[in-house]
């Protein structure tokens, strides 16, 4: 029955709807709701068109095309529009729809439905449905049915990522439990993650990591114990990945140089049959669809419960991260781009963007830096488009070309992090490395894919507050500081950190009240530069 009604809607749209956002959006949406099973259309379902979104700061009002709490926000654009350009507008509307904020957001241009599930992926659509395929793909919209169902996405990126990461996590826990040094085990797992990701996007030839793991398993004696050959086969792969130039022959033929950072220490570990099986299962997942933000879950599993409490550490969801990144980085830059009018202005802005530096002084697994990097790459793409569109003459086109040259883009080297845990630092490096590679893959420009950026000087393992001699830690000079600082109440600080450390802290930062939470100490660094971010974090907390 629903197949017929959806087909009827598709036929009606093709025959009668020209794709005018202003004149036809409500007609289109009303027929859409009828097709989904609501006889009285969108009003009968309880949805509202032209829903008022108030911006108290700007004292202005915007109008969302359709809001149906708590299910979906739908934003319509005219036929042929690139929906990617309107993601930020929809996200801004969605942020303000409290209480009962919808879980789902749909961007639609009459021909395509871009479906977002903000409980699972804040940045990418979980599905893109062409209107011609709407009947066959109707289960992707089942959350809108009169009796809502769990949707079946065309590609569930988060699910794939979660499964793959869990397998790596199981191998990590197994290694630690049998006595492998925690830092070494974590580094080994991160090297494996990069290897799986690299072979899926073509940076490692011929599925070489998966084949090496398969060969180790083939030579195992089907015993639950150690598989000695894994020490050589996987270890030698890592060695080739750290050797400059391309391997000319042998089983590792074609392996390029990755870098002297992550692969500087060639890890050789004899894996158990169980651990090899975990890596084999993980290698069969689609790592090219990985969401680096999920690495926070490995970080969580790597911390013991009591250690996690002491550090005030917890995984911050990407949605909450954007609540800091948007007002601190994205919004000011969008305003500057909007106000720029000439090619010279765009040149100036892109130069500044490419030298704009970001710090997270308690970076954990690097999720704040990852989101900031992605958003700055989007801003860069916007500026490059404007430069291309406004370079009219041959001279202007020639001058503008240098802004498109490889090696001259927004770089991971503009991002800095500090964390006291060694494995958090390794996770943060990998998160940014993968973020860069994904960006290159999306732009189909592989000219600067390898070697990977060496981030050893950008992401450091240290106490963000104190040097070893008890003096104040100096942070890198940056343009903005973001993050979710560790929280630890006054009553627990001495118990958790020890009297000696607290005494050093009070001596170095005498202006901080003895009643203050531990996170306040971070606001004292560098003339209160972090305080703005802390205020913003508290202010947007009502949206959590």
The Cα 71–Cα 143 span in angstroms is 8
pLDDT mean over 244-260:
86
The Cα 384–Cα 363 span in angstroms is 30
Is 414's pLDDT higher than 50?
Answer: yes
Question: How sure is the predictor about 310, in pLDDT bands with cuts at 50, 70 and 90?
Answer: very low
- Report the half-sphere exposure of 124 (CA within 13 A, side-chain side): 17
The Cα 16–Cα 267 span in angstroms is 64
Q: CA 316, 319, 324 angle in degrees (round to 5)?
A: 80
Question: How sure is the predictor about 312, in pLDDT bands with cuts at 50, 70 and 90?
Answer: very low
Burial 414-433 (b: 16+ CB within 10 A, else e): bbbbbbebebbbbbbbbbbb
The Cα 461–Cα 447 span in angstroms is 31
Is 306's pLDDT higher than 90?
Answer: no
Distances 446 to 438, 442, 482 between C-alpha atoms, Å: 10, 10, 30
Share of the chain above pLDDT 70, in %: 79
pLDDT at site 407 = 63
Is 536's pLDDT higher than 50?
Answer: no
Dump pLDDT digits (tens) for 330-369: 889 989 998 898 999 999 999 999 999 999 988 888 888 9
Asked if residue 130 lies in contact with residue 111, where contact means CB atoms within 8 angstroms, the answer is yes
The tokens of 530 are what?
A: 């972090």
Dump pLDDT digits (tens) for 32-47: 999 999 999 999 999 9
pLDDT at site 507 = 73
pLDDT at site 336 = 92
Which is higher by pLDDT, 544 or 18?
Answer: 18
pLDDT at site 238 = 92
Give the range with max mean pLDDT: 32-41, 223-232, 318-327, 450-459: 32-41
pLDDT at site 447 = 46
Dump pLDDT digits (tens) for 51-80: 888 766 556 778 899 999 999 999 999 998
Dump pLDDT digits (tens) for 175-210: 999 999 988 888 898 889 889 888 888 888 888 999
Q: Is 416 helix (H, G, I), strand (E, B) or coil?
A: strand
3-state secondary structure 300-366: HHHCCHHHHHHHCCCCCCHHHHHHHHHHHHHHHHHHHHHHCCCHHHHHHHHHHHCCCCEEECCCCCC
| Averaged pLDDT score across all residues of the chain | 80
pLDDT mean over 378-387:
89
Distances 448 to 373, 406, 434, 437 between C-alpha atoms, Å: 17, 7, 13, 9
Dump pLDDT digits (tens) for 503-531: 676 676 666 655 555 555 555 554 444 43
Asked if residue 49 lies in contact with residue 72, where contact means CB atoms within 8 angstroms, the answer is no
157-177 helix and 182-200 helix, angle to the nearest 10 degrees? 150
The Cα 61–Cα 52 span in angstroms is 6
């Amino acid at each position: 029955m629903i197949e017929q009604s959806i087909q009827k809607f598709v036929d009606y749209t093709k025959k009668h709807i020209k794709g005018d956002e202003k004149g036809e959006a409500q007609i289109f949406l009303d027929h859409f709701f009828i097709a989904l099973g609501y006889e009285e259309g969108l009003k009968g379902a309880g949805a509202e068109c032209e829903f008022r979104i108030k911006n108290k700061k700007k004292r202005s009002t915007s109008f969302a095309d359709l809001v149906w709490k708590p299910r979906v926000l739908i934003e319509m654009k005219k036929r042929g529009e690139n929906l990617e350009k309107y993601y930020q507008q929809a996200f801004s509307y969605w942020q303000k729809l409290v209480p009962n904020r919808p879980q789902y957001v749909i961007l639609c241009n009459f021909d395509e439905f871009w479906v977002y599930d903000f409980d699972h992926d804040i940045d990418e659509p979980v599905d893109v449905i062409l209107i011609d395929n709407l009947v066959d793909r109707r289960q992707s919209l089942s959350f809108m049915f009169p009796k809502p169902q769990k949707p079946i996405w065309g590609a569930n990126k988060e699910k794939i990522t979660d499964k793959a990461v869990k397998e790596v996590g199981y191998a990590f826990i197994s290694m630690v439990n049998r006595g492998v040094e925690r830092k070494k085990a974590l580094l080994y797992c991160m090297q494996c993650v990069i290897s799986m990701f690299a072979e899926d996007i073509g940076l490692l030839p011929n599925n070489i990591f998966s084949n090496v793991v398969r060969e180790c398993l083939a030579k195992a004696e089907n015993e639950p114990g150690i598989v000695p050959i894994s020490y050589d086969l996987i270890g030698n792969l890592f060695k080739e990945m750290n050797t400059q130039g391309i391997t000319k022959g042998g089983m590792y033929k074609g392996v390029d140089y990755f870098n002297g950072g992550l692969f500087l220490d060639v890890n050789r570990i004899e894996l158990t049959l169980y651990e090899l099986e975990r890596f084999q299962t993980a290698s069969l997942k689609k790592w090219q669809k990985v969401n680096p933000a999920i690495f926070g879950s490995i970080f969580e599993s790597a911390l013991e419960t009591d250690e996690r409490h002491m550090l005030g550490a917890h995984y911050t969801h990407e949605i909450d991260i954007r609540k800091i990144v948007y007002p601190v980085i994205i919004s000011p830059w969008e305003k500057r781009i909007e106000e720029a009018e000439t090619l010279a202005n765009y040149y100036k802005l892109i130069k500044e963007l490419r030298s704009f530096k970001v710090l997270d002084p308690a970076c954990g697994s690097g999720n704040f830096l990852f989101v900031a990097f992605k958003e700055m790459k989007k801003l860069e793409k916007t500026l490059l488009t404007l430069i291309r569109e406004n370079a009219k003459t041959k001279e202007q086109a020639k001058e503008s070309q240098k802004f498109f040259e490889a090696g001259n883009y927004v770089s991971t080297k503009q991002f800095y992090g500090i964390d006291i845990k060694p494995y958090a630092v390794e996770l943060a490096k990998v998160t940014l490395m993968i973020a860069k590679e994904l960006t290159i893959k999306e732009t189909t420009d592989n000219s600067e894919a390898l070697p990977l950026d060496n981030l050893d000087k950008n992401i450091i393992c240290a106490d963000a507050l104190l040097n070893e001699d008890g003096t104040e830690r100096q942070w890198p000079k940056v343009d903005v500081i973001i993050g979710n600082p560790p929280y630890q109440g006054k009553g627990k600080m001495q118990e958790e950190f020890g009297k000696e450390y607290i005494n050093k802290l009070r001596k170095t930062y005498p202006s901080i009240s003895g009643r203050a939470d531990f996170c306040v100490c971070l606001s004292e660094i560098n003339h209160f530069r972090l305080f703005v971010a802390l205020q913003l974090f508290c202010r947007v907390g009502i949206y959590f």
